[in-house]
Each structure stands twice: as C-alpha cells, then as structure tokens.
Amino acid sequence: MSERVLRRLLVAGGAGFIGSNFVKLLRRTRPDVEVTVLDKLTYAGNPANLRELEGQEGYRFVRGDICDGEMVDHLAGQVDAIVNFAAETHVDRSLLDPFAFVLTDVLGTAVLCEAARKHEHEVILLVSTDEVYGDVTTGLSKEADALRPRSPYSASKAGGELLARSYVESFGLPLLVTRGSNNYGPNQFPEKIVPLFITNALDGLKLPIYNDGSAVRDYIYVEDHCEGIDLVLRKGEVGHAYNVATGVQTSGLEVARTVLELTGGDESLLEFVRDRPGHDYRYAPDISAISELGWQPKVNFREGLAETVRWYQEHEQWWRPLKSGEYWDFYRRNYKPIETEVS
C-alpha cells in the first residue's frame, strides 16, 4: 500500500495528553515533518508537555481555539493536513457542563473540516473514541457499527464525526477517523481513572470506584495509540474509520487493585462510590482493520501501568500543581458516597 507523504501538519489539541505524546513521537520519528500545534490551553492543556520541543526548527506552538474560524483558516492555509486532538474529554465533566463539549467537539470539528475543505488539504484526521459505539454488552464493535453514544462527551464526539462524514459525502472531504480506546501513560491529567488512582494512591487518598467496579474498558498505552494514529495518517484509506485498541478488557476494580500493588498501597484505600449516571459498562473494539494496515499494540496493561506509575512517581512537579483549586471543586461535585443516594 502506498504511503501518504505529508510535509506540514496542523496538530490541534497538541498540548494535551495524547496530542503531546503524538507530537513528540512525530518529532522523534519524522523530524522532516513541520508541525504547528494549535491549542487553547484549557485546564487539560499544559505547555510543559511540549517544553522539550521549544525552539526546534520545524516546530511552533500557537495558542488559540479551534472554534475561532479566522485563526483556523489562517493556520490551515499554511499546511497540507490537520490532525485533531482538541476536545473536551472527560465524561464526568460532560455530565456537569455539557455545552462546553458541544462547542469544542462538534462546532470546533466543523470549523476544522471547513478549513480543510477550503484549503484542499490532502487529509484531515479526527481522533475519535470507542465511546461513540455506546455500551456494548456482548461481542466486539466494528467500524461499520451504528453509533449509539450515551453521554454528552461521546455524543459530542459522535456529532463531530457525523458532521465530518457529511463533508465526505457532500464535498469529498478526505477524512480519516481513528477510534481509540482508553489511553493511559505519561502526562495524563489526573482525572481519568488511571492517573487519578495512581496519584491518589501515592498520597494515601481513597480510590473512588463507581458502583462495584465491574465496568470494563480496553486500556491502551498512549504510545501504542499514537503509533496507530500515525500509521492511519500515512496509510489509512480515506473515508474510513479505524479502531485503535488492544483487544483486552479490564475492569475498574482490577485497575484499582493493580495500582495499589504497584504503589504499595493498602486495599483499605478502595472506596465504592455512587455510580456515574448513564455509566457505559463495556467497550470492546475490534482491531482487525488497523491490524491489516500493519499495527499491533506493543505494551501489555501491567507493563504499561508499571511504567506509568514510575512516571508519576518521578514527575510530582508535573501533577501536584494540577490537583488544586478548581480540581477539588470538581471532585466534590462529582464524587458522592453511596449512602447519600439511599438516605
């Protein structure tokens, strides 16, 4: 299969968790590709994630919003392709403030598609999620399956995808979509399960487990995910979506227990809390399409988690300042003991 050669990329949301890992991977493996990062620097965006790239030839950072049509149009005119990571991404926050998700994940995606169309880009890749399939009680989700999102986060991601798809049909937009599973690894904001549980365990704080901890996810090491995205960008068939996952499902309780083992924490730190409303209990993406392109995950969950625990142990100066102020306001609003529901 012939490889797409892209020279100048606009990476939206490149200062967040996965985006920054992707940009660093790209700079390491293909330094000839010029990269412009566009990022609004919300609470989840962090310039420290990209500090090691500052001053490098072929790299620049622009602070801005993907909903800002003029700015996006200006930057899009200088590149051959867009890769979009920019999004509001945390399901629990989407239950507290849905509109922020609609704005960035739907409207922002529309603005990027419009710019890619106008500037006749070679390709636009949207980084989406396996959550667009909704709760999957049995079997595996294939890319052609119906989208049945159940949270404002996943519905907004699905909305962005559908709008982009309408651009394929209506205007021939050269679209690629990746649907990644649950990522973990260095530089993840400590609100999703893995970094939250690691940082809480390191501080001797409780690990809040929704309901009975039986909900399963397919946890993928961030570098494996980024390599999958890069492969789809180079070799993916335009108009197609690709699941990027490991094929292995792990429950929340297993995540908590493994984190405690790796951090030397005691089982008394396990705390069962009120369930997330509309909690999806199972995601299980099929990975045969991306496997056919030549991708396989390299890191198993235990190895990747051990590596991630080490990273958080060695980078307290990165995560400790994030767990302050607004973070604890969110925490108090989100987590409730099971008793409150009963009484």
How near is the Cβ of 258 to ligand NAD at its closest, in Å? 17
Q: Count of residues binding ligand NAD (CB under 6 A)? A: 30
Give the footprint of ligand TYD on residues 193-252 (CB under 6 A).
Answer: 193, 196, 208-210, 215, 217, 252
The residue behind tokens 């890191």 is: 299
Q: The tokens of 268 are what? A: 């008394």
Our finding on whether 75 is near ligand NAD (CB under 6 A) is no
Q: By C-alpha distance, which of 322, 288, 246 is closest to 41?
A: 322
Give the footprint of ligand NAD on residues 79-138 (CB under 6 A).
Answer: 85-89, 104, 108, 127, 129
Pairing type for strands 81-84 and 123-129 reads parallel
Please, which residue, 153 or 167, has the CB nearer to ligand NAD?
A: 153
Please, which residue, 66 or 87, has the CB nearer to ligand TYD?
A: 87
Q: Is 153 a catalytic residue?
A: yes
- The length of the chain in residues reads 343
Of the residues 91, 113, 198, 201, which one makes contact with ligand TYD according to CB under 6 A: 91
Q: By C-alpha distance, which of 185, 186, 180, 284 is closest to 232?
A: 180
Burial of 192 (0-12, 13-18, 19+ CB in 10 A): middle
156 binds, among ligand TYD, ligand NAD, none (CB under 5 to 8 A by kind): none
Of the residues 151, 183, 199, 263, which one makes contact with ligand NAD according to CB under 6 A: 183
Pairing type for strands 270-273 and 207-210 reads parallel
- Annotated catalytic residue, options 39, 65, 131, 224: 131
14's CB contacts (< 8 A; 6+ apart) are: 20, 22, 23, 35, 37, 38, 39, 50, 61, 85
**SS3 category, 123:** strand
- 64-72, 163-171, 196-204, 292-300 -> range binding ligand NAD (CB under 6 A): 64-72
183 binds, among ligand NAD, ligand TYD, none (CB under 5 to 8 A by kind): ligand NAD
User: Which residues carry out catalysis?
Assistant: 130-131, 153
Residues of the shown chain interacting with ligand TYD in the complex, contacts defined by CB under 6 A:
91, 131, 182, 192-193, 196, 208-210, 215, 217, 252, 276
